[in-house]
Chain A
């Protein structure tokens, strides 16, 4: 409770436009509150529909203390369950992904149907009622090829996000793409540092030679302010919308998610060293227009995304501890695109593999420095770091009232 009060006090007294106090980036108790109040409450991007393309396909994810399995049922529906056997709690699915006709606990072979119902438990008492011991469901929604889960008992309404995001993404048909490659790196830094780094391109010029060949450093692209007055952005939106692709900048009123389409530099069409396409075959049969730039989406706290004409790169952030964050990157291409024929995997993944590694080093250096007793919050660049300011404001805006719920004033006994 003291941590809650401390955290709340620091959030309320923070200087706007400045980075957060040290414990937000380092303290295990603060991290636990991040998990409880953000990660266990909000919608989280976990993976793609196309990763569970067929009935019986599943993947697993670990959110804080919660192991979760996402599986496609015989009816085609994607569902999520707590990956904990109702017998003695063992994890039922122990691999990151797989395909199985039923979900069978490896411990005693309690067998769950793909809809979570317990269908077989060997030699239990006669009055044992299987229907009372199905896998516990986790709220699960799929939109535009993205699967989101929510661990809260009463999840926030998913409909507004769906309404904003779906029209932008539907033409790109990520539901039926395929993951050409994925990588997971662990960055030794707090998840908020990973996000803060991602929300600005102030650092790009000095750190991302590969990405800077194609991705503009203009703050209007990554930030949340000024896009509407940038003639390049307006022209790009007009061109793309004329081609049937929703593109204008839209953001949730609470700042949790936004979508927009941004141009790449000059004639670049893809994140390659040459700027030329990495995949011969278009990502979507429905999008033939060229130079559509990149469709950007973020949804706090788990995902930022780039959808191009020839491929998509999606990112998933998951906290491991106060000082470690896993970042999973997936490169999606048309499901019929053939490696070695339609694309070269090294060429496809080069730019973001390098960029991710560069970002990892930046975040880790940042975390190192923040652990110094001499650290104190510093000012963000209003011109270049509007996106970071927006992220920190979102964080404070979500955390403060939730902290206040649980931090009802308790009178200390006075001797």
Chain B
């Protein structure tokens, strides 16, 4: 591990190694109020390393909320063009546990373990001449990451940026977006609110996104690479509109910030469903042969979490791939495993995995 250094001392990028989630924890350097119940948490590595990621990717934070730490995924709102720190912007929904814990406990100087970055919701993987970023609520965070990258690295890019919120004051990053709009000639901003507010006047569009309002906010949306993120109903609406308009859906990409469908078993649903922040892609089937149980592994979810959701108990202790207590035989399928030395190469060769730090890449069957 690199020795922690004074954060005030500037080191050149080429003098630093990239952040390694196995070795280094994050240290909070700043907490910013963005909107009601929305805060940005900025982190540096405790060992002065830099962060390698693509704009739009997410990290998984390990939050020591209770006896079993919660793992929560948050998309990064920061841009890798400013690689010395990363930031997540989280909205604490009613009933949230993880994000509420962050609000109460993550102060500058606090440390938290994180894994990643990961995820494929990024314009880097889908280069295009023109983009439409359409988001609702805290779904703005990956869009902000990508837009900040464009502003730093390709400020002439053509981006139509549409954000929907309930009230004007709930538009996250509104001031920064307006500032970027004045500096990026190709950036067009469109906001849509549902209701007026007594706190801020409003001159823009109102209502919910629909086939009438979308062309008003982005007249040439059919020519754009579309990135969409927000609650499920919102994304379904956008998707429906695009399909109805004859849009070529190979140019459509979505990331969700809504809680996924309830888990089949009521066991620890909370740990299963990433509140506020989990990108939902596709759930993969998982089979627990010894328990004769089946379940689903949601994106970003570990086999251990999926087992709990399915009511299957796998003994575990550290839950970050160090102690090896959750060593389990994988019978079929592929996983990606980010362990911390809790398993030997020979054991991996024999087919063992650590359930706490293995995420399925395909359908998986384990002897648990």
A-to-B contact residues, CB < 8 Å: 54-56, 99-102, 104, 108-109, 111, 113, 119-120, 122-123
A113 to B342, CA, bound (A): 9
Chain A contacts of B346 at CB under 8 A? 54, 56, 99
How far, in whole Å, are A104 and B343 apart by their CA atoms in the complex? 12
Instruction: List, in ascending order, chain B residues with CB within 8 A of A122's CB.
Output: 317-318
Which of B175-183, B321-329, B359-367 contacts its partner? B321-329
Interface string of B337-355 (1 = CB under 8 A from A): 0000111101100000000
Q: Which residue of A54, A55, A120, A123 contacts B322 across the interface (Cβ within 8 Å)?
A: A120
The reply to whether the CB of B95 lies closer than 8 angstroms to some CB of chain A is: no
Whether B344 pairs with A55 at a CB distance below 8 angstroms is yes
Q: Is the CB of B341 within 8 A of A101?
A: yes
The verdict on A111 contacting B318 (CB below 8 Å), with A100-B324, A104-B323 known, is yes
**Closest residue to A113 on the B side, CB-wise?**
B341
Main secondary structure of the interface of B (DSSP, over half): loop
CB–CB B324/A102 < 8 A: yes
Cα–Cα, bound, A100→B342 (Å): 8
Contact B347 A104 (CB under 8 A): no
Chain A residue nearest to B352 in the complex (CB): A101
By the criterion CB–CB under 8 Å, are B322 and A119 in contact? yes
CB distance from B101 to the nearest CB of A (A): 15
A101–B317 touching, CB < 8 Å: no
Question: Which interface class (under 10, 10 to 19, 20 to 34, 35 or more) fits B?
Answer: 10 to 19
CA A102 – CA B347 in complex, angstroms? Answer: 12
Contacts of B341 in A (CB 8 A): 101-102, 113
Given A122-B317, A123-B67, A111 and B344 touching (CB < 8 A)? no
| A104 lies within 8 A of B344 (CB) | no
> CB-nearest residue of chain A relative to B318?
A120
Give B residues with C-beta under 8 Å from A: 64, 67, 317-318, 322-325, 341-344, 346-347
**CB pairs A–B below 8 angstroms (16 shown):** A54-B344, A55-B344, A99-B344, A99-B346, A99-B347, A100-B324, A101-B344, A101-B347, A102-B341, A104-B323, A109-B318, A109-B323, A111-B322, A120-B317, A120-B323, A122-B318
Interface pair A101/B318, CB less than 8 Å apart? no
- Is the Cβ of B67 less than 8 Å from the Cβ of A111? no
Beyond A99-B344, A101-B342, 7 additional pairs, beta carbon < 8 A: A56-B344, A99-B346, A102-B323, A108-B317, A111-B322, A120-B318, A122-B317
Compute how far the CA of A99 lies from the CA of B342 in the bound complex, rounded to whole angstroms: 12
Note all chain B residues with C-beta closer than 8 A to A108.
317
A121 → B minimal CB distance (Å): 9
Question: What residue in chain A is nearest B319 (Cβ atoms)?
Answer: A122
Task: Please indicate the chain B residues that have their CB under 8 angstroms from the CB of A101 in the complex.
Answer: 324, 341-344, 347
Contacts of B67 in A (CB 8 A): 123
The 6 A-B pairs with the shortest beta carbon distances in the complex, nearest first, are: A109-B317, A111-B323, A101-B344, A120-B318, A56-B344, A101-B343
* Most chain B C-beta atoms within 10 Å of own C-beta, residue among A99, A101, A123: A101
Known: A104-B317, A120-B317. A109 touches B325 (CB 8 A): yes
- Assess A102 versus B322: contact at CB under 8 Å? Given A54-B346, A123-B67: yes
B343 touching A111, Cβ below 8 Å: no
Closest chain A residue to B317 by CB distance? A109
Return the chain A residue nearest B321 by Cβ: A101
Contacts of B347 in A (CB 8 A): 99, 101
**Chain B residues positioned under 8 Å from A120 (CB to CB):** 317-318, 322-323
Question: Which chain A residues border B343 with CB–CB below 8 Å?
Answer: 101
From residue B162, how far is it (CB to closest CB) to chain A in Å? 45
State in angstroms the CA–CA spacing of A56 and B343 once bound together. 9
The winner among B323, B324, B343, B346 for most chain A CB atoms within 10 A is B323
Residue of A nearest to B324 (CB): A101
- Residue ID in chain B nearest A114 by CB atoms: B341
When chains A and B are docked, how far (Å) is the Cα of A324 from the Cα of B67?
47
Residues of B contacting A123 with CB < 8 Å? 64, 67
Closest beta carbon of chain A to B100's beta carbon, Å: 20
Rounded to whole angstroms, the CA-CA distance of A56 and B352 in the bound complex is 15
Least distance between B359 CB and chain A CB atoms (Å): 19
The chain B residue sitting closest to A54, CB to CB, is: B346
In the complex, A193 Cα to B77 Cα: how many Å? Answer: 77
* Bound CA span A314–B62, Å: 51
Question: A222 CA to B311 CA in the complex, in Å?
Answer: 65
Cβ distance A105 to chain B, nearest Cβ, rounded Å: 10
B324 proximity list for chain A (CB < 8 A): 100-102, 104, 111
A411, B342: Cα distance in complex, Å: 59
Contacts of A55 in B (CB 8 A): 344
- A99–B317 alpha-carbon span in the complex (Å): 19
CB-defined contacts of A99 to chain B, threshold 8 Å: 344, 346-347
Residues of B within 8 A of A56 (CB): 344, 346
Tell me, in angstroms, the Cα distance from A54 to B346 when the chains sit together. 9
Task: Give the distance to chain B from A99, nearest Cβ to Cβ, in Å.
Answer: 7
Candidates A54, A104, A113, A119; contact of B325 at CB < 8 Å: A104
When distances are taken between beta carbons in the complex, the residues of chain A under 8 Å from B318 are 109, 111, 120, 122
Distance A55 CA – B347 CA, assembled complex (angstroms): 12
- How distant is the Cα of A122 from the Cα of B347 in the complex, in angstroms? 24
A43 to B323, CA, bound (A): 32
Minimum CB–CB distance for A184 against chain B, Å: 26
